[in-house]
Structure 1
Amino acid sequence: MQNLKQIRYQAVMRHLLFWLAYILYQCVNNGWEDKDVFAFKLDPQLVTSVPIAMLVTYLNLYVLMPLFYYPQKYLQYTIGMLGLILIAGLLPRFFAYAIWVPWDKIHDPAMYRMEKTDFWIPVRIFKNAAGNTPILLAAMLLKLMRNAFKQEKHLREVEQEKFTAEMGLLKAQINPHFFFNTLNSLYALTLKGSEQASKVVLRLSDLMHYMLYEASENKVLLQDEIKHLESYIGIEQMRFADRLELSFQYSGDIAGKMIAPLLLLPFVENAFKHGLAEHIGYITINLKVTGNRLFFKVENSYEPNTTGTKTGLGLKNVKRRLELTYPGNYTLLINKYNEIFEADLKLDL
C-alpha cells in the first residue's frame, strides 16, 4: 500500500512540476513583450489560460490517446486532435470576450480602447490555438517517452524473471542428477563393505551444504567451485580406485575470480559416468586461468558401444546455462575420436 501511495505521489508531483514550468514560461513570455529586457509579469488571464491548457492536454492524454492512438486508429485520432486544437483556440477567445474585455474596460481603459470587442476574430482564435498546441504536443511526447520507458522496464523484468525461473529449473535438475550418481557410488561401496563409505558420507554432506547454501547464488568463488570438484572427484576415486587413472590439475590466478555455480561439475560427472562405467580407463582434468579467461578441459576414455546411448541431463543443462549466463563469452567444443571423449571450454569470467 505504501508503495502505491508513493507511486501516486510521484505522479502528482510530476504533473505539478510540469504545470509550474508552463506557468513560469507564460509569465516570462508575457513580461518579455518583444523587448530585450527580461521581465516577469503575472498576467491575470493565466486564471483561464492555464485551466484551458490543462483541459485540452488531459483530454488528449486520457481520452483521445487511449481511445484512438494506442489502438492505432490514427485517422480518428487526427480528427480528435484537430477538434482539441480548435477548442484550444475558441475557449480562450470566449473567456477573453466574456471576462477579460469587460475587465480591461474597468481596470485598463487604455487597453480596452485598443482592443477589438468582437467574439469572432479568426486571427486571435488561430493565435490561441497555435499557443496551446506546443504544450499539448510536449505533454504527449513526455507521455509516450514515459510509456516507452515503462514498457522497456517491464520487458526487462519479464526477461529477468524468465531467466531466473529457467536457471532455477536447470539447477533443480542438476542437483537430483548429481545426487543420483553420488548415491550410486555410495551404494557400490556399501555393497563391497568398504570402510571408505563413511568418508563418502562426510564428503557428500559437504557437497550438500555447498549446493544448499552457496550454489543458490548467481556467482560463487572459483576457489569454492574447485574445492567442490575435488570433493566429488574424491568420492568417485573411492569407488573406482582399482581401475582409474586420474589427473586433476589447476593453475593460474584463481584468487577472487567468480563463476556460475555447478557449471564445471557436469563435465566431470560425464567423464566418470561414461568413461569408467564398465572398464579400466583414465580421466584427465585441466583447469587454467589466464587473466579473466578460464580454460577447462576434460578428457576421458570410453567404449563407443557403451557410450552415447544415454547422454543424460548434465551436458544439456550446462550448455543451456552457458547460453544464459555467458552469452557470447564462451566457446565449448565436444569431440569424440579414437575412443577418447573430450570437452574443451573457454570462458570469460
Structure 2
Amino acid sequence: MATRACTSFQSRARSGKRASAPGTRPSLHGGQLLLLSTGVPSLDYLIGGGLAVGTLLLVEEDRYESYSRMLLKYFVAEGAVCGHSLFLASARDHPEEILQELPAPLLDDVIEIDEAIRETESNSGGINNSTTASQNSMIIAWRYQNLPKVQTALTSSSRFGHYYDLSKTMSTELQHSVKCHSFFLPDEVPLDLAATESGKMNFGYIKLLRSIQRVIREEGFDGVCPQTKQRNILRIGIHSLGSLLWGEDIGLSENPEHAYSLTKFLYALRGLLRTSLSACIITVPAYLIQNKAIIGRVAKLSDTVIGLESFNASERETNPLYKDYHGLLHVRQLPRLNSLICDVPDTKDLAFKLKRKLFTIEDELLLLIQ
C-alpha cells in the first residue's frame, strides 16, 4: 500500500511515527523537520543540526573558489555514502569531473581519525603555506571544550554525518553505486541562447529548473505524489551559479540589465524544494556582484547563508594576528523553520586553517584576546 510522502514541512503521520530515509534524522529543535548532513559534521552543528530537507544552503565563494568547491564535494560525497540520489549542475567543470574528485570516506577507521586528532593538537607551530587544499582533509574541529572535535567512532552509511580525507579520492565502486543526474550548461544551452531576454529569466536557468523538476517528478521525490518505492533523498549541488559562464551580467556593472534573473530562478527553485524530498547547496561568486541589493535579495531567497573569505593575496595574509590561519567563515543567515526563533551560534565570524589532516575553525574573537 502506497503512503503519501512527507516533506520537511508536513506534519507527522497519524500513527505518530515518521518514516525515515537513509542518512537523515529528525531535528531536535523541530521534530517535524527532517535533517541531512552537509558532509561536514561540525558545519551541521553550526547551522542547527544539519540541512533540513526542502531547504537551500547558499555558499558565498572565496575568491579562489577552493574552499567553496570543497564544501560542495563534501555535500555530494555524503550523499554517495548515504545512498542518496544526486543532481550536479555546473557551467565550467563537467559534473563527471567533480564526481571523480570526491574525497574518500573514513568508515570505521577509528585509528586514522585518532591520529589526525593527535597530529592537529600536537602541531601548534606554523603551517606550510605550500600545502594545497586538495591535499588536506576538510574536517571542521571546534575550539570549544564542550563540543567533540572529531567523533571517535564511525560506523556504516546508516550513521548521520561522516568524515572524509581529501588526500584520497572515493573508490569508483562507491561512485558508481549511486544514481547521479548531471547538468552541464555548454551541453544543454547553445551560446547564442544563453543570454537573458529583457524581462525574462536566463535561458540556462530555465533549462536547469526544468531538468530538476523532471528528476523530482520522474524519480519519485515529489512530496505531493504517493511514493511507490523506498523513501530516498535527492541532493542537488549547483556550482558557481550567477557567474558569467551562466550568461549572467550581474557582475559586469552595478546596475545590470538583467538584475532579477537570478532571484527569479531562486524563487522558483525554492518552490520545487519545499514540495519535494530534496535539499540543495549552491555556491555563488558573491564577490563579483557589485550591486549589494542583489546580494541581499539572493540571501533572502535562501534558507541558510555562509560566506567564505580566503586570506590568500589579502592584507590579512601578512597580519601577524592571522599568521596561522587561511581565511574566515561568516554565518550570514540561519534558517527559521517551524519556529519563531532560530539557533544562533556563539559567534558568526570564525577563522579557519589547514593542517596536514584537518581543516579547523576557531572563534575569531578568541584571537583578539590572545
Q: TM-score, normalised by structure 2?
A: 0.19
Higher share in helix: 1
Higher share in strand: 2
Higher relative contact order (CA 8 A, sep 6+): 2
Structure exhibiting the larger radius of gyration computed from Cα positions: 1
